[in-house]
Amino acid sequence: MARDINLGRGLDQIFQPRSIAVIGASTDPSKTGGRPVHLLKKHGYAGAILPVNPKADEVQGLTAYASVADLPQVPDLALIAVPGAGALEAARACAERGVPAAIVLSAGFAEQGSEGAARQLELRAIADNSGMRVLGPNCLGTVSVPEKAIGTFSVALENEMPAQGPVAIVSQSGNVGSLAMKMLGRGGAGISRFIASGNECDVDIADAIAWMAGDAATRVILVCMETCRDAARLTLALDIARAAGKPVFVLKMGASDVGKAAAMSHTGGLAGADQVFDAVFARHGAVRVKSLEMLVQMGSAAAALGDRTVSANPSVSVIAASGGFGIMMADAAEEHGLTLNRTGDAAIEQIKAVLPLASAVNPVDATAQMSANPETFGALLSAVAGDNANEVVCIMMALGLEVPRLRDTYLAALDAARAAHPDQVFVACVAGPDDALQILNAKGILTFPTIDAMMEGVSHLGRLTAEKGKDAGGARDIATAPLDRGSVATEADAKRVLSAAGIGFPEEVVVTSADAAGQAADRLALPVAMKILSADIQHKSDIGGVELGIVGADDAAAAYARIMTAAATHAPDARIDGVLVAPMITGGTELIVGTTTDPIFGPVVMVGLGGIFAEVFRDTALQPAPVSLEDAQEMLRSLKCFALLDGARGRPRADVDAAAQAIVALSEFAARHADDVAEIDINPLLVRDQGLGAIALDALIIPHQTQTSEAAE
C-alpha cells in the first residue's frame, strides 16, 4: 500500500508549517486549547497563528474565526483541541478545506473503550479518504525548535524553548517524551524535533523516524516506544535511518509481563516478546537502552561525538584520581564488554615523569595530586591520549568541576587534549553542574553521571558501529507458499518435509507390525528408539508411547506390542499411523532449534542448549526469520554454551557451520510457510565433531489451526 511505501509523507507541514490553525483555541492560556496559542506567541513562531473559536472574536490578542471554513487561508497545520466527538467534526472540516496535516490533541478515542475506538476508525477514514496526515489522537503533539513551530500543550515549554541542537525525540508516550526533552535540555545536547504520536490512527513512529532520517536539523534519533503496530513499517524506517547515517537509540517499554499488559491497555496495541524486539532492533541498526536516563545520556553522547565513531570493540584507557575509582571503572568496563589495554611504554614514561608515584598501568591512578596540583591533569591527559593503543579515554572527574579552583584548569586541559587529538574520544564521568556539562558537550567531550553509565554508554556506541555494518537483508525475500496441514500431522511427516528443506535426519523406518519392527531394528544395527505415530497424540511419552534403547528383533517386536497396548489403553480413539523406529545416535552437543510466531514480527527462529537442560538453563538466541548464514553463526556465538561447541577443556570442536546451516534452512522454511506453520521444534539437533555435520533427532511442526484449537481447549 502507498501508506507503507511513503514513510514520512506529508510531515513537512507538521514539522515546518508556515501557518497554524488552533481549533478550539481558548482565551485562557492554561487550557489545552489556549496553551498552543500562548506558547507559539511566547516563543516567537514567525508564521500565521489562526485561532478558531465560534464564541470569541479575539483569542489572546489574535483575530479569531468561527470555523475552519472562515479562515482567510488554508493553514499548513491544524491543531485540534476540542473533545472527541467535536474533534471528528473538526477533522472533517479540515479535510474538506484541504488542510494537509492535523494534530488531534484531544482524548476520547481508542484508549477509552469501544465507543472511542469507533470514533478513531472514523478519524482514520477521514485521513485515508482525504490524504490529510493526522497525528494522534490523544497525543502531546510536536515541537520543531529551529522554526519555533509548536503543536503541543506540554508544560516542558512553560518557561523556555529547548536549545536548538541535533537530537530528535520520537515518542508514543507524550509525558515520557516530554520529560526526555526537558532532561536533554539540562544536559546541553540541544533539540531539533519532538513528536508524541499517541494513538497513531495515521501518523506513527515509523513515519517520524523516516522523516527525521532526511531532516538536515537532526543527527540523532531517540525513540520512546510502547508497542509496534506495523512491523514492516518500523523496520523499514530503521533501515532508512541507518542508510542516512542517523543513529537511533530506542527505549522499548513493556519488557515485564506487567509492563506489557499496561502497554496494551494504554495504546490498544500488541506487545511482542521482549527478546524479539531486541533482535529486531539489532538487525536494523538501532541500539536498545533500558532506561529513560540512559536514552537521554546516549542522545547527549552521540550529539557530542559528532562525526567520530567508537569501534565495535573499543579499547579504553582509564584515568582516575584514586585507586578505588580506577578499580570500579575497570570492573564496569569488563561488565560492559570493553577492553582495557596495557598502557604503552612511551605513555608510562610520560606519566612517571609527571607523577612518579602514580600507577601508570591501565587504569591510571593519578592519586590525590590530580586535585592538589591540578596542572598535572593536563600532562596526564596528554600522555594517555597520545597512546595509540587506546581509542577511548575515560576520565573520572568526580566533583572536580564543582570546585572553582579546579574547574577552569580541568576544562582547559580537556580542551587542549581535544584539540591535539581530534579523532580521540574523551568521556568524562561527571554529574554537574549543568553549565559545565553544556561546555563539555559543546567541545565534543562525552559526559555520563556515573561510572556504570559511562561504560555502558561507550559500549552502546560500539554496538551502534557494529549494527551499522550488518546487512538487514540476509535471505529477506522469501515468497510464502501453502503447506498442507495433513502433510505434517506426525513426527515422521514433519521430518520428511524438514528433510526436503535441507535439515539432516538419520534413516528412520515407519512400521505397522511387530515383525516389521524387528526387521527395522536389525537393519539399523544400533540401539533404536520406537515412538507411536499419531496426529492425535502430542505427548507420546505420557501414555507409554515411547521405548528407548531397544536392541535386536525380539526386543523391538516386544516393544511394538507394548506401545500399541499403551495407545489402546490411554488413547483408544486416536488414529494410529504406526510406530517410528529410529537409531539412537550419541556423541556431540545437543542443541534445541525451533521457530515460533511472534504476533508482531511473524516467524522467529531460536537456538539454544538442547536436550534435558533446555528448560533449565534457558540459554537461547533468536532472530526474526529468515536469517542469513552470518546471522545464524552469530546466534550460535552469542550462546553461553558456545564454549561447548568451540572445543572447551579439550573437547573436539563441533561442526558449527553445519549447525548454522540447519538454522538457516529452518528459518527459511518457517518464513516460506508463515501462513500455515505456528511453531517448529527440533530437540535435539545433535552437532557432531567438525566435518561430521549436524543431525536432527526429533521434530514437531504445529500448524496455526492446531495451535488455535489447543488454546481454545
- pLDDT attached to residue 114: 92
Cell numbers 507411536 correspond to what residue?
532
Which residues on neighbouring strands pair with residue 196, listed in sequence order?
141, 171
Question: Are the beta carbons of 168 and 194 closer than 8 angstroms?
Answer: yes
Q: So what's the pLDDT on residue 106?
A: 95
Q: How many helices (H) and strands (E) does the chain have?
A: 26, 29
The mean pLDDT of 592-596, rounded to a whole number, is 93
C-alpha cell at 142: 510536536
pLDDT of residue 266 exceeding 50, the answer is no
> For residue 188, what pLDDT band results from cuts at 50, 70 and 90?
confident
C-alpha to C-alpha distance for 251 and 198, rounded to whole angstroms: 16
The predicted structure's pLDDT at residue 271: 35
For 545-584, write each residue's pLDDT tens digit.
999 999 999 999 999 999 999 999 999 999 999 999 999 9
What is each CA distance from 15 to 176, 199, 215, 488, 641, in whole angstroms? Answer: 20, 19, 10, 53, 49
3-state secondary structure of 415: helix
Question: Of 20-34, 216-230, 466-480, which gets the smallest average pLDDT?
Answer: 466-480
Spatial neighbors of 164 by CB under 8 A, at least 6 apart, are 145, 146, 190, 191, 192, 217
Q: What pLDDT does 706 receive? A: 60
The predicted model gives 420-437 an average pLDDT of 92
Percentage of the chain lying above the pLDDT 70 cut? 93
Confidence (pLDDT) at 370: 77
Residue 260 in this model has a pLDDT that exceeds 70: no
The predicted model gives 476-494 an average pLDDT of: 83
Higher-confidence residue of 274 and 613: namely 274
Residue 614: pLDDT band with limits 50, 70, 90:
low
For 64-102, what is each residue's pLDDT tens digit?
A: 999 999 999 999 999 999 987 899 999 999 999 999 999
As a whole number of angstroms, the distance between CA 449 and CA 471 comes to 34
| Predicted local confidence at residue 521, as pLDDT | 95
Domains, in order of start, for the chain:
2-304 (3.40.50.261), 315-430 (3.40.50.261), 507-583 (3.30.1490.20), 589-712 (3.30.470.20)
Q: Residue 267 has what pLDDT? A: 35
Residue with cell 536432527: 696
- What cell does 335 get? 561488565
Residue 630 contacts by C-beta under 8 Å, 6 or more apart in sequence?
Answer: 471, 474
Between CA 516 and CA 527 the distance in angstroms is: 16
Neighbouring-strand partners of residue 427: 394, 446
Residue 489 has a pLDDT of 84
Which amino acid, one-letter code, is at 324? Answer: G
pTM for the model? 0.91
pLDDT digits 0-9 by tens, 360-412: 889 998 877 777 787 888 988 999 999 887 899 999 988 889 888 889 999 99
Identity at 516, one-letter amino acid code: A
Mean pLDDT of the chain: 90
The per-residue pLDDT for 35 is 97
Residue 686 has pLDDT above 70, yes or no: yes
Q: What is the crossing angle of helices 375-385 and 345-354, to 10°?
A: 170
Is 475's pLDDT higher than 70?
no
What the block records as the C-alpha cell of 482 is 501453502
Instruction: Give the confidence band of 321 by pLDDT, cuts at 50, 70, 90.
Output: confident
The whole-number pLDDT of residue 109 equals 93
Beta strands in 380-443 (DSSP E): 392-398, 425-430
Q: pLDDT band at 712, cuts 50/70/90? A: very low
| Residue 710 in this model has a pLDDT that exceeds 60 | no
Strands (E) in 599-641, as ranges, are 602-609, 620-624
- Kindly provide the b/e burial profile for residues 399-432, where b requires at least 16 CB atoms within 10 angstroms of the residue's own CB: ebbeeeebbebbbebbbebbeebeebbbbbbbbe
pLDDT at 256: 57
Confidence of residue 469 (pLDDT cuts 50, 70, 90): low
Q: Supply the pLDDT for residue 676.
A: 94
Region 151-163: mean pLDDT is: 93
- With a cut of 60, say whether residue 264 has pLDDT above it: no
Of 513, 509, 507, whose CA–CA distance to 560 is shortest? 513
Res 708 pLDDT > 80 = no
Q: What are phi and psi of 494, to 5 degrees?
A: -60, -45
Rounded CA separation 365/563 (Å): 72
Which is higher by pLDDT, 164 or 256? 164
In angstroms, the CA 485 to CA 515 distance is: 31
Which three cell numbers mark 566?
499403551
Tell me what pLDDT residue 257 has.
59
Q: Is the peptide bond before 137 cis (omega within 30 degrees of 0)?
A: yes
d(CA 703, CA 677): 4
What is the spatial distance between Cα 313 and Cα 463, in angstroms, rounded to a whole number?
Answer: 8
Distance separating alpha carbons of residues 199 and 135, to the nearest angstrom: 8
